């Protein structure tokens, strides 16, 4: 396969949002929710004390700039009050009171500042990755981008072309719907690109403002969990077809797996007040099915090895700690413990979606790895689809 990774760059959200701040905001807004008495236990069970966002909590929790009673609804409300015998003066006062109630933020109000941040963070990550690879923007031949939570056209790929700036003949490959799988699948695509042309330089940039799914008005238990889980992060990495002095990891093999009929388990819904992340409780079991498929792929890939094979590192983003526990319980016999340590460390500061695997990889790199250490990177995403990449530290 022969694809070589330089050190990934990671730019965390600069606004630290503590879990106790989210708990206080939710408790104030939904004091009578069915799960209100359990909120402290639910928050503690995530294991996340704080996470970085590109924008502050106040921006996500703020009301919209428009009135609570939108103009089209004022007419029917006025008619209903008049029909019930209220005087004109009483109707006027009632309508004025309704209009004074703050409305939820609109899609535009939530998305516009987040999209600006996604571009800025993506640029920072790209520049850091290029600097770490000893390259300039003009050396890049292909750019793979992903950002699933702030849809825009033109997208992040064009933003980077103008901001860095990249050459006019660079191949732009946006993949806005990869979501949590963006890290591993972008590496797989980059490996294909450099296999076709070993002199090609590929830049991967993933920038996710997952905090845009923070919906203050939602009072479901699933919405509470979403509020507590997500972090904002931009990551970038350079992949080449030939080893460089800065190369740290060689990719040797790729595995893909998709489960039909699972598109309803995790999804983004766009509504009047923005993007909502919807989770089904059946989701972790579906993710576990892809994990079982990965174990089988690795067994078959190494069945003829002279000695029993196992990775020295397993850098995984399966979406949550429940599946990490499942992975530890179902690992093939003889595999050492602690393979998921860097994955667990990343989760303590939030679920980073598509940026997670490269954040986990950076943590492993910063800790220092021995040349020859065998590594598997894995991620699963809404769909339900998964990609794993096997490689070796240089």
| Domain limits, the chain | 3-61+105-240, 249-393
Statement: residue 69 has pLDDT above 60 = no
Within 10 Å of residue 238's Cβ, how many Cβ atoms? 28
Instruction: State pLDDT tens for residues 199-245.
Output: 999 999 999 999 998 888 888 888 888 899 999 999 999 999 999 99
The per-residue pLDDT for range 283-321, each reduced to its tens digit, is 677 788 899 999 999 999 999 888 889 999 999 998 878
pLDDT in tens, 105-135: 777 788 889 999 999 999 999 999 999 999 9
**Length of the chain as a residue count:** 394
Residue reference for tokens 């009632």: 94
Is residue 95 pLDDT above 90, yes or no?
no
Q: What percent of the chain has pLDDT over 70?
A: 91
Identify the pLDDT of residue 193: 97
Fold matches, 3-61+105-240 and 249-393: yes
Structure tokens at 76: 């029917």
- Average pLDDT value over all residues in the chain: 89
Mean pLDDT of 28-54: 92
The torsion angles phi and psi of 200, rounded to 5 degrees, stand at -75, 145
User: Looking at residue 80, what is its pLDDT?
Assistant: 67
How does pLDDT run across 369-378, given as a tens digit for each residue? Answer: 999 999 999 9
Kind and range of the H or E element at 383?
strand 383-393
Cis peptide before 384 (omega within 30 of 0): yes
pLDDT at 268 over 90: no
**Homologous superfamily in CATH for domain 3-61+105-240:** Thiolase/Chalcone synthase (3.40.47.10)
* Class of the CATH domain delimited by 249-393: alpha beta
Going by pLDDT thresholds of 50, 70 and 90, the confidence category of residue 364 is very high
Residue 72 has pLDDT above 60, yes or no: no
pLDDT at 306 (0 to 100): 83
Cβ-in-10-Å burial (0-12, 13-18, 19+) of 271 comes to exposed
Q: At residue 359, does pLDDT exceed 90? A: yes
pLDDT score at 365:
98
């Amino acid at each position: 396969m022969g694809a070589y990774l330089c050190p990934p760059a990671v730019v965390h959200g600069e606004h630290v949002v503590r879990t106790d701040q989210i708990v206080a905001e939710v408790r104030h807004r939904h004091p009578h929710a069915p799960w209100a008495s359990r909120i402290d236990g639910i928050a503690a069970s995530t294991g996340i004390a704080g996470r970085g966002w590109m924008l502050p909590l106040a921006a996500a929790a703020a009301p919209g700039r428009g009135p609570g009673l939108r103009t089209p609804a004022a007419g029917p409300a006025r008619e209903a009050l008049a029909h019930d015998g209220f005087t004109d003066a009483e109707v006027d006062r009632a309508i004025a009171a309704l209009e004074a109630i703050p409305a939820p933020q609109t899609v535009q109000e939530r998305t516009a500042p987040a999209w600006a941040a996604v571009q800025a963070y993506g640029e920072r990550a790209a520049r850091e990755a290029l600097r770490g690879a000893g390259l300039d923007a003009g050396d890049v031949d292909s750019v793979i981008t992903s950002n699933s939570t702030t849809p825009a056209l033109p997208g992040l790929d064009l933003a980077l072309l103008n901001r860095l700036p990249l050459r006019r003949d660079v191949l732009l490959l946006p993949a806005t719907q990869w979501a949590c799988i963006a890290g591993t699948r972008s590496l797989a695509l980059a490996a294909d690109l450099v296999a076709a042309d070993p002199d090609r330089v590929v830049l991967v940039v993933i920038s996710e403002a997952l905090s845009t799914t923070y919906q203050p008005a939602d009072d479901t238990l699933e919405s509470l969990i979403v509020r507590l889980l997500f972090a904002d992060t931009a990551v970038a990495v350079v992949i080449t077809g030939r080893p460089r002095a800065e190369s740290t990891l060689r990719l040797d093999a790729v595995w893909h797996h998709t489960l039909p009929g699972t598109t309803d388990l995790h999804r983004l819904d766009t509504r009047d007040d923005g993007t909502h992340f919807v989770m089904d409780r059946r989701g972790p079991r579906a993710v576990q099915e892809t994990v079982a498929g990965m174990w089988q792929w690795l067994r078959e890939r190494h069945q003829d090895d002279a000695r029993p094979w196992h990775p020295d590192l397993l850098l995984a983003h399966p979406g949550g700690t429940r599946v990490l526990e499942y992975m530890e319980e179902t690992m093939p016999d003889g595999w050492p413990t602690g393979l998921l340590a860097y994955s667990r460390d990343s989760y303590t500061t939030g679920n980073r979606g598509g940026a997670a695997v490269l954040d986990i990889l950076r943590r492993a790199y910063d800790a220092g790895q021995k040349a020859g250490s065998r590594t598997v990177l894995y991620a699963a995403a809404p769909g339900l689809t998964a990609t794993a990449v096997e490689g070796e530290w240089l």
